[in-house]
Amino acid sequence: MTNRLDTAAATNLGLRAALVTGATSGIGWHLALQLADAGVRVVALGRNRHKLAELSRLKPCILALEADLADVNSLPGLAMRIGAAAPELNCVIHNAGIQHNVRVDDEGYDLRAIEEELDTNLLAPIALTRALLPALQSRERSWIVHVSSGLAYAPKRTSAVYSASKAALHLFGAGLRLQLRGTSVRVLEAVMPLVDTPMTLGRGRRKLAADEAAAALLAGLSLPGGVFHIGQARALPILRRVAPGLLARLMSAG
């Protein structure tokens, strides 16, 4: 079991205020609660206003921000709202995501659904990072974290667009890391295994508990390097090297 982030560790890291997107469910829910428990000011973002209200009720220090990341025109204004809500913001965790389990030619998986998936998983993190970067660069230390997946490295048959969005986010993060080398901003990618959340309801076995996944992500803030793997995803780099065919088969089945 991963040690939970505590106040001493958060203070040592210099973690002041964090944005958690997709905080109303799954991994993001636990990220918000664990950060708040460690004394970090949290801006919790999501669409579900009941869940947002519950978060603020559980931890009054959590500031709830109702927003739809797929509404791309609202993103510049949203970045300003985030900055105003947390003037000391020095950690942005791009966790919100959606995954449609479909074939690309499925009826109903129309352009709107494809756009929603790409905008939420890819465009919104890029646009918010761009808008928040000047503030993040002015801090002594700051973090941008992408919540990633093994599907960034090998696609799942029924989630081609989701896999593409995660692969693109992986490369965006790698490029951003190059651009920000030597600055105070660290760009991290947390590669998740299968985690027990509403996203994976009814599929998979031996899933990691969402609170454990959140704890492992927060532990990763102090690791060296840019990409870190959590739980069973730790096998990915080895499989990519020694058995890429096996990896492709495992991932394609989801």
Of 147 and 154, nearer to ligand NAP (C-beta) is: 147
Site for ligand NAP in 114-133 (CB under 6 A): 120
Strand partners for 89: 17
- Say whether residue 101 binds ligand NAP (CB under 6 A): no
Task: Supply 223's token pair.
Answer: 């690791």
Which amino acid would we find at residue 66? E
Question: What is the number of the residue whose Cβ is closest to ligand NAP?
Answer: 26
Strand segments, DSSP code E, in 76-180 are: 89-94, 142-149
One of 25, 74, 101, 232 touching ligand NAP (CB under 6 A): 25
Kind and range of the H or E element at 250? helix 244-253
Nearest to 143 by CA among 32, 65, 220: 220
What does DSSP say about strands 62-66 and 41-46: parallel, antiparallel, or unpaired? parallel
> Considering 135, 162, 221, 239, which one is annotated as catalytic?
162
CB count in 10 Å sphere of residue 104: 10
Of 116 and 141, nearer to ligand NAP (C-beta) is: 116
65: Cβ–Cβ under 8 A, 6 or more apart, which residues? 43, 44, 45, 52, 78, 81, 82, 85
One of 26, 155, 220, 254 touching ligand NAP (CB under 6 A): 26
- Say whether residue 24 binds ligand NAP (CB under 6 A): yes
- Say whether residue 69 binds ligand NAP (CB under 6 A): yes
Binding map of ligand NAP across residues 179-208, x = CB under 6 A, - = no contact: -------------x-xx-xxxx--------
One of 10, 43, 75, 96 touching ligand NAP (CB under 6 A): 96
CB-count exposure of residue 95 (10 Å: 0-12, 13-18, 19+): buried
Find out whether 224 and 182 touch, Cβ atoms under 8 Å. no
- To the query of whether residue 153 is one of the catalytic residues in this protein, the response is no
Stretch that binds ligand NAP, among 65-73, 129-137, 176-184, 241-249 (CB under 6 A): 65-73
CB count in 10 Å sphere of residue 235: 15
Of 48 and 222, nearer to ligand NAP (C-beta) is: 48
- Say whether residue 147 binds ligand NAP (CB under 6 A): yes
One of 97, 155, 220, 231 touching ligand NAP (CB under 6 A): 97
The length of the chain in residues reads 254
Q: Would you please indicate which residues are annotated as catalytic (active-site) residues?
A: 162
Q: Which residues bind ligand NAP (CB under 6 A)?
A: 21-28, 46-48, 51, 68-70, 95-98, 120, 147, 149, 192, 194-195, 197-200
